Structures are given as structure tokens and as C-alpha cells.
Amino acid sequence: MVKKGYLLLENGIIFEGESFGKEKDVDGEVVFNTGMVGYPEGFTDPSYFGQILTLTYPLIGNYAVPKKTHKDGMLSNFESDKIHLRGLIVSSYIENNSHWQSHQSLASWLKNENVPALSGIDTRTLTKTLRETGVMKGKIVFNDPAENEVNFYDVNRDNLVASVSCSKPITYGNGKFKILMIDCGVKLNQIRLLLKLDTTIIRVPWDYNPFETPFDAIVISNGPGDPKMAKETINTVKKAIGEKIPILGICLGNQILALAAGANTYKLKYGHRSQNQPVIDEINKKCYITTQNHGFAVDKNTLQTSWLPWFTNLNDNTNEGIRHTKFPFFTAQFHPEACPGPTDTEWIFEYFIKEASSFLSSRTK
């Protein structure tokens, strides 16, 4: 017999569904993603830590989950070593799957990783509710909610970055250009792509003091939660700006670099979570389709005079990246590494290394 489960929202709305994951109660921030594919990569994105994810695409599970294989010390088909969702909400779960990489069903994967999931939910109504009212605190429970007092927990009160960052430095590759990767919840494809550019990646914890480690440039990764909670990372980046070390910030890294440079950030009403977000390059006016997963944004009106918006979201005009007018400090609010999603902006990695190398060469002359 299929177990019933309930999604409870802080505004009092209750959705009833059927369990296909682990049957355990969880708290989280209820959000939605409009992507059609890519759940193995998406669910293992640490930026989802603390969130109950609603997928708007109606059929989920039909190509199952690939086998865990490793290359260069990293999993090949996933963006981290585990699922980071608190819970999953779908309209229709498909158990019968077909794909040449299929290794296990989505339900099996969720149960093995202790993640609850509900199907049979009216995800269209749920998504419209979240768009109209904003993301909300929520719970997945498996007892009749009328029988229990419900308290909702705000995950954004915690420093979520500390929960997903590595615990000690990890080195990848042996290239000539050394990058310090501040791990705020890094997606592995950022490392994979950088390794293709003759680099050594030194991945360090979010609160690591890196200035006794030799490196050429800094990349600040994506990650979950409110960027203002990662105070140690912000202070590290402030010092790096002062020492004119080339920096690239991605997603949360965009927000952290902006805060370190004196700008402000704010919480979006319902965030950007999809693989079809159009952004425009403010320098050359080219448009790119991007993968995104964030709930906070940089207030471009608070940028200091030496900083300019680099990218802008064409749906809501929010900031999608900044750049310095003189030094090689760049950011992208979206995910240039994709996984899942379009690879339109993969060029940013090569561009950053080229600009950083040129700057470093000019300093040594």
C-alpha cells in the first residue's frame, strides 16, 4: 500500500500526495524549478541544501539515475557526492524507466539517501502559489497534519555554506595556473572545466585562511542560503580584493564578491531555478541562455563607482554578474558550468584565466 504524505506551507495550505522516497518528516524552504531534465545533476547541487524542491515538469523519473563512476577524483555524472534536497515534490513519478545509463530508479536513490518525496501533487497550483506569495517555509509529514501542532523552521537563519563546504583542502590536477577554489558548495563541473584549461585546483573550506598558500587566482563557488551568513568568506575576499588577486565569483560567489566590495544583496521573491534564463552581456549586448539556481541577488544600485553590472536578467532585470573597471574581478550569478542546462556561457572560465594571466604578467614586468 502506498503511503500518503503531506506538504504543509506556512500560509496554511496543505497538499496531499503519495510517497516514493524516504518516509521521514522534514523542514525546508519550498521552491520550484522549471527545468525539464537534469535531476541527477540538479539534486546533487549543494545550492539546494535546506530546500524542498518542486519540479514543474510533470513526468519525473523516466530516465532513472546513472551509476556512480569516478574520474579525476570526482563523480562523473553528479555535481557532488550526495543529494542535497530536504525533500522533493512532483506531479507524476515514473517508476518504469529507460535510458542507456540507467542504473537505479529515482525512488531507490531517494530512499538510499534518506530524502522524502511526494507525487500526485498539483504542482501547477503550488508553483503559482509560490510565484504569487514568494517562497515559503514548509514541511513534509506522513501523519495527518490535523493531529499535530506544526512549527515551521527558517533555514535561512543558519549559515548553510558551512554544512556543504569541504572540511579540508583538496587538490585536483597539476596545471601551471593555480586556482584557489573557495568551496561554498561547489558544483563539480566547475572543477572539471577548469582542469581542461591547464590548471591546478586547490579546493578549500569556506572559512579557510588561504594567504599562506601559493596560488594565482581565486574562484568563489556557488552555494546555498543567505550570502551575508558567510562572514569569514566575505572577509577573505575583501583581503584578496585589496591585494589585487584575480577573482571569479559564481552564483553565491557573485553575491559574496559584491558584499566584499561594499555592495548589498537581497532575497528574491521566488528566485531563479531553471535551465532557460536569458541574460544579456552589458558590454557587447549579446544574449545567452543560462542555468540558474539562486534565491538572493546583488542590488546593482549599491555598486561602488569602480564596479559595473556585467550581466542582466532579461526576465526581471535583476543583476546577473558584475565586473571591476580596472582589475580582473568578475562574477556570474548564473552557472557557466551548466550541468544541467545550456553551455552558452562556458567561455567565462577561459576568459577569466586569460584576463587573470595577462594581469599577473603585467605586474611582474
Contacts of 319 (CB under 8 A, 6+ apart): 297, 298, 299, 300, 309, 311, 312, 313, 333
Is 184 considered catalytic here?
Answer: no
Residue in 84, 272, 324, 335 annotated catalytic: 335
DSSP 139-162: EEESS-GGGS------GGGS-THH
Where does the pLDDT of residue 151 fall: very low under 50, low under 70, confident under 90, or very high at 90 and above? confident
Cβ–Cβ under 8 Å, residues 121 and 91: yes
What integer pLDDT is reported at residue 365 of this predicted model?
A: 63
Q: What is the pLDDT of residue 1?
A: 74
Catalytic residue (choose from 324, 337, 339, 355): 337
- Torsion angle of C-alpha atoms 210, 214, 219, 220, degrees rounded to 10: 0
Is residue 146 pLDDT above 90, yes or no? no
Q: Map out the domains of the chain with their CATH numbers.
A: 4-156 (3.50.30.20), 161-364 (3.40.50.880)
| pLDDT given at position 118 | 98
- Respond yes or no: is residue 335 known to be catalytic: yes
Reply yes or no on whether the pLDDT at 148 is more than 80. Answer: no
Q: Is 243 helix (H, G, I), strand (E, B) or coil?
A: coil
For 170-217, what is each residue's pLDDT tens digit? 999 999 999 999 999 999 999 999 999 999 999 999 999 999 889 999
227-258, pLDDT tens digit by residue? Answer: 999 999 999 999 999 999 999 999 999 999 99
Q: Is 251 a catalytic residue?
A: yes
363 — pLDDT class (breaks 50, 70, 90): confident
Q: What is the pLDDT of residue 161?
A: 98
Exactly one of 29, 41, 184, 251 is catalytic; which is it? Answer: 251
Largest CA distance in the chain: 73
Strand pairing report for 102-104 and 65-66: antiparallel
**Band of residue 269 on the pLDDT scale cut at 50, 70, 90:** very high
Q: What is the mean pLDDT of residues 96-109?
A: 93
Confidence of residue 364 (pLDDT cuts 50, 70, 90): confident
